[in-house]
Structure 1
């Protein structure tokens, strides 16, 4: 009986932690879905939240760089982004962009975090260097 309880608790925890992409009004989007969306729309609010050094090494075409670790991230984002349009965010692997996504979602933006970030994007060979 204890083993069944352990398994039930474990499954519940796994279910809760697997939904992190849906926290605080933030949706997760795969790099495949992002590539499809980029082909469908003329312009998109795609934001690279990595450092300037990472940005200089390569990124996704059409992205705007607003470094999430900078003191003025929120101010710049509010100044440069349109709340009426969705915002797609990415970083190296998804952690910093989730931080940025939560900030923007709390300000009323519709936010999508790119799962796996630029690392996953490069793996899909849909990048420029």
Structure 2
């Protein structure tokens, strides 16, 4: 990506399907709505604390990650988060590759949430 395209916001196909939300936007989107809320951290991290109603699908457990998301409706919005935002961005890109089209990621991850 060139400097000018990054400056003026040229989006890739993947970024058209991934929206990064700040804490307030994310909270508004998931509160009172039936959404698929996925924590992509390890089970140990998840058990140490997570957002209410989140399910844990560990990005680092590749076989389970793939299998778990293959069972889900690709047309429904998916809300992802991790510790700081790096893993959830990787997970979001994987989901785009699997055919998901409405992916929301928590900016700053669980560290910003708590």
Give the structure-2-normalised TM-score.
Answer: 0.82
2:48 and 2:96 mapped to 1: Cα distance? 28
Structure 1: any 5+ residue segments left out of the alignment? 1-8, 123-129
Residue 67 (structure 1) shift: 0.2
Larger radius of gyration: 1
Count of aligned pairs between the two proteins: 109
Match of 1:125 in 2: none
1:101 and 1:16 mapped to 2: Cα distance? 23
**Relative to total residues, which structure has the larger helix share, 1 or 2?**
1
Point out 4+ residue stretches in structure 1 off by more than 2 angstroms.
11-17, 22-25
Give the structure-1-normalised TM-score.
Answer: 0.73
Structure 2: any 5+ residue segments left out of the alignment? none
Query: What CA deviation, in whole Å up to 9, does each residue of 1:14-67 have, x standing for no partner?
Result: 7379x79x73631111111111112241x1101000001100100000111000
Of 101, 114, 121, the residue aligned with 2:113 is: 121
Match of 1:61 in 2: 52
